[in-house]
Amino acid sequence: MDMGLTGKVAVVMASSRGLGRASALQLAREGAHLAIASRSAERIAATAKAISAETGARVLHRAVDVTRAEDIAAFAAEVASVYGRVDVLVNNGGGPPPGTFDALDEQAFVAATNLVLLNVVRTTKAILPLIRSHKGGGRIITVTSAGAREPLYNMMLSNSLRPAIHGWTKTLSKELGPEGITVNCIAPGIVGTERIDELIAANSQRMVKPPEQVRAEMIARIPLGRFGRPEEFGAVVAFLGSAWASYISGTTIYVDGAAMASVV
C-alpha cells in the first residue's frame, strides 16, 4: 500500500534510539526525507548513517536538547534551510524518572513539565510555520504513554503530565483542522526498548524482586503475551503520518497489546 510519503519531509525528535528511532526508520522506509534529533551528537549521527544506508533516504541530523528552547529553534532553522518545508512532525522525548509522590520534590515536577509538556509545545511552535508554509496540510504526532489512560505503577510524573498532552492535542486539532493539519497522539504500552529495561531495573529495586520476575509479571498482564516490538510502533506512526490518515485527528491510538482495561 502506497502511503503517500515519498518525498515528504518528516521531523522526528529524540530519535537516536527506541521508539523515536523506530518511527524515523519506518517513515524513511516509506520514502520520506528525515530531519532527526537527539541530545547525543554521536548517537544521532550514527542513527542518521544507519537509516540512510538502509533506506537511501536523505537524513538531516542535529544534537538537540528538547528542554532548551534555543536548541529547538536552531534545529527548526536548519530544517527550513535544508528542506524549506515539513509535512510530518513527530514529537518525542525521554520520559521522566519513576517515583512516588513522597519521593519527588517540587523541582522534579518542574523538570518533568519542561521535558514532557513544554518540549512538545516548543517543538510544535518552532516547526508549525514549516508545516503551514506549503499550504498542503500536514501531520503532528506526539508520542505519549498508555499511562495517560491508566496510571502506571511508580510513575507519578509521567502519569500527571501525559494527560495534559492529550488535552493539548484535542484542542490543537480543532484549531488547526481548518488548515488540513491533523493532530494526534500515539500512546505505547510496553514496547521492548532501552527505556523499558531502565524501568524494570528501577521497579526491581523498589519491589525487591529480581528483574526477570518483574519482566515476567509485566508480560503476564498483556493479553497478547509479549512486549511490543519497536517496528510495530513505528508502523503506526507511519500510518498516522500518511495520506491514508487524513480524516483522523484529535485522537489517541494505543499500541499496548490490549493491556489497558478501560473501554474509552
Question: Sheet of 88-91: strands edge to edge?
Answer: 59-63, 33-38, 9-12, 88-91, 138-143, 181-188, 252-255
The domain spans of the chain are 9-191+231-255
Mean pLDDT of the chain: 94
Rounded to two decimals, the pTM is 0.93
Look at residue 192 in the predicted model and tell me its pLDDT: 83
Rounded Cα distance, 50 and 197, in Å: 23
Look at residue 194 in the predicted model and tell me its pLDDT: 82
The Cβ-side half-sphere exposure at 113, using a 13 Å CA radius, reads 7
Rounded Cα distance, 177 and 137, in Å: 9
Sorted by sequence, the CB contacts under 8 Å of residue 131 that are 6+ apart come out as: 85, 86, 87, 89, 138, 140, 181
Tens digit of each residue's pLDDT (9 = 90 or more) over 87-103: 999 999 988 998 999 99
Tens digit of each residue's pLDDT (9 = 90 or more) over 114-141: 999 999 999 999 999 999 999 889 999 9
Instruction: Count other Cβ atoms within 10 Å, centred on residue 125.
Output: 13
Calculate the dihedral angle through the C-alpha atoms of 237, 230, 41, 55, rounding to the nearest 10 degrees: -70
CATH level 2 (architecture), domain 9-191+231-255 = 3-Layer(aba) Sandwich (3.40)
Look at residue 116 in the predicted model and tell me its pLDDT: 96
Among 13-22, 65-74, 149-158, the range scoring the smallest mean pLDDT is: 149-158
In terms of Cβ atoms closer than 10 Å to its own Cβ (0-12, 13-18, 19+), residue 105 is exposed
Look at residue 195 in the predicted model and tell me its pLDDT: 81
Tens digit of each residue's pLDDT (9 = 90 or more) over 177-221: 999 999 999 999 889 888 888 888 888 887 889 989 989 988 999
If you ran DSSP here, which 8-state letter would residue 178 be given?
G
Residue 108's pLDDT band, with cuts at 50, 70 and 90, is very high
Look at residue 198 in the predicted model and tell me its pLDDT: 83
